[in-house]
Structure 1
Amino acid sequence: MWRDPEFKRGAREMAAISLGISAWGLVTGVAMVKSGLSIWLALLMSFVVFAGSSQLAALPLIASGAPLWVLWATAFCVNLRFVIFSAQWRMYFGHLPLLRRMSIGYFAADLNYVAFLKRWPEGRPAPEQQPYYWGGVSLNWLAWQVPSVAGILLAERVPTEWGLGFAGVLALLGLACSLLHDRKSWVSGAVAGCAAVAAYGLPLRLNILVAIAAAVAMGLLMEHSFPEKRGRP
């Protein structure tokens, strides 16, 4: 499959944004160890979870000793977007065997979803879609895991004075802004930001859950009030 032109195209389109993904992965790797996780637990979390936003959301909860239900609820809410991604990808990959679909689900990522839907917005399966998907997610996975592992292994040698936390925020903002492609997503993102700031004083980082709930509610409201034309992502 790696020789297919669509595989190369998928990788090439992800290459332009791989630097931001790598910066975020490095910061997350360092943050996991700095939060108190052992190297082996951090490596396990990086490879098994493979969801940077939920990892970063869970780390301060782990460090503060938050109840397990808060940890699970936060990770669940942060990753709810993958339900939407999977429902959309079902139109393209729903006919594949279960094991193949499970592997596709593991490697799924936000920006791969955006690139894929721009390439095939019509919602019909085609033979060249799998090579394109695997080309994009392969590069995305490597761009995340290699810096993340490096951050985990070198965390104790990275001084906090380097300001990697702020670099991670910038990388996360860049990735988030690339997902805001229409009025609905921009309004939902703005509502989430305002809600997170307004609820910042809540304990156990519950302002994250408040922001997610506000964004989902606003998105559903706008979806109902301003439905999109059929065939658009």
Structure 2
Amino acid sequence: MQKETGATAPSDSATLSEARRVEREAFQEGWRASASTIPAVFAWGIVSGMAMVKSGMSIFQSLGMSLLVYAGSAQFAVLPLLAVGTPLLVVFFTAMIVNLRFVIFSAAVAPHFEHLPWYRRIWYGFFNGDISMAFFPQRFPNHTVGQPAGKIGFFAAICYPGWVAWQLGATIGILLASQIPESWNIGFAGTLALIAIMIPMTNNLPALVGVVVSGTVAVLALHFPYRLGLLAAMVMGMAAALTVDKFLPVRDKDDEDGEVAT
């Protein structure tokens, strides 16, 4: 019995070491893929920090909101409501509507983490957002569900650095709100950075249709209450992309995949 235990221990150790190596390599891969998003996230963090202070919130309230409400669109949506003393129920409802896209994001990513305990899924869910949805499904499409190797490392690499960049930017914006002139257009710089990231990812017909439809709906629905235009643009863009992908001939899909791989 002792011999059997001694024989299996090295194997278990080797398996654990191999798993760690895979996760480290996945982390490095995720960092290389998403590092270009850090300047945009940092810039948006500065803008959010400035907006919180200029809306009348104290420094400690602003820091607390930045740490707990990791959602820039929700922050920008509720700040005007908080400034005019809107009832909290309306504030929560507005934030929920604006962030409904995260429900879709979570539904897309959740099957890949079913093997984890609930508290770890909650932890990763907090960091799940636009950047993770831009990279994770491309690296781990639906057919990889049930193959956990490398997913935690890759997900951590595309989420954690962005969270740190956001918090650093928000802290700078909070502490230096009165010193940073609005004429610098930091928010517009962040938008340009995100556009530069998005363009290379629009590498097939469904993605192009989704971008065009969502962009058009976002402009047309700009004045929808509670920023519902953002939700409408996301839903319509995804629906258009899925429709085109469904009816696109299989040969055309293979050709596009081959071009991307090349």
- Shorter chain as normaliser: what TM range? 0.7 to 0.9
1:158-177 correspondence to structure 2 within 5 Å: 158=180, 160=181, 162-164=182-184, 166-172=185-191, 174-175=193-194
Q: Which amino acid aligns with 1:81?
A: R
1:8-38 C-alpha deviation (Å, 9 max, x unpaired): 2212222112111111111111111011011
Structure showing the higher helix proportion among its residues:
2
Larger Cα-atom Rg: 2
In structure 1, the gaps of 5 or more residues are 201-205
Match of 1:203 in 2: none
CA distance in 2, matches of 1:155, 1:112: 29
Could you tell me which residue of structure 1 aligns to residue 3 of structure 2? Answer: none
Q: Which moved more, 1:149-158 or 1:216-225?
A: 216-225
User: How far apart, CA to CA, are the structure 1 residues paired with 2:231 and 2:87?
Assistant: 20
Instruction: From 213, 219, 225, give the equivalent of 1:193.
Output: 219
Please state whether the residue corresponding to 1:156 is helix, strand or coil.
Answer: coil
Q: Which segment drifts farther, 149-158 or 59-68?
A: 59-68
For each residue in 1:156-194, what CA deviation from the matched residue of structure 2 results, as whole angstroms up to 9, or x when unmatched? 333x3x425x32144246436729841124302311211
Distance 1:59 1:155, change over 3 A: same
Out of 96, 117, 120, the residue aligned to residue 100 of structure 1 is 120
1:130 corresponds to which of 146, 152, 169: 152
Answering whether residue 143 of structure 2 is matched by residue 117 of structure 1, we say no
Q: Alpha-carbon deviations, 1:114-149, whole Å to 9, x = none?
A: 111111123423211111111221111111111111
Is the 2:217–2:232 Cα contact (8 Å) retained in structure 1? yes
- Go from structure 1 to structure 2 and tell me whether the alpha carbon gap of 1:112 and 1:58 turns closer, same or farther (over 3 Å shift): same
Name the counterpart of 1:218.
236
Shift of the 97–187 alpha-carbon distance from structure 1 to 2, 3 Å rule, reads same
- Residue 26 of structure 1 is matched in structure 2 by 46
Contact 2:210 2:238 survives alignment (8 Å):
no
Q: Partners in 1 of 2:45 and 2:194 — Cα distance?
A: 12
Partners of 2:136 and 2:155 within 8 A in 1: yes
Q: Which amino acid aligns with 2:233?
A: A
Could you tell me which amino acid in structure 2 is paired with residue 178 of structure 1?
Answer: M
SS in 1 for 2:110: helix
Stretch of structure 1 that moved more, 123-132 or 1-10:
1-10
Q: Which residue does the alignment assign to 1:47?
A: 67
2:221 aligns to what SS in structure 1? helix
- TM-score normalised to the size of structure 2? 0.73
Aligned residues: 219
Query: Which whole-Å CA distance do the structure 1 matches of 2:189 and 2:80 have between them?
Result: 18
Greater relative CO (CA pairs within 8 A, separation 6+): 1
Which residues of structure 2 form unaligned runs of 5+?
1-19, 248-252, 254-262
Q: Label 1:66 to 1:172 Cα distance change in 2 as closer, same or farther (>3 A).
A: farther
Q: In percent, how many aligned pairs have the same letter?
A: 37
How big is the alpha-carbon RMSD for the aligned residues of Structure 1 and Structure 2?
2.8
Deviation digits for residues 57-85 of structure 1 (CA, Å, limit 9, x no counterpart): 21122223334343223211221111111
TM-score (norm 1): 0.82
Distance 1:97-1:28 versus aligned 2 partners, 3 A rule: same
What is the distance in 1 between the residues matched to 2:232 and 2:160?
33
State the partner residue of 2:111.
91
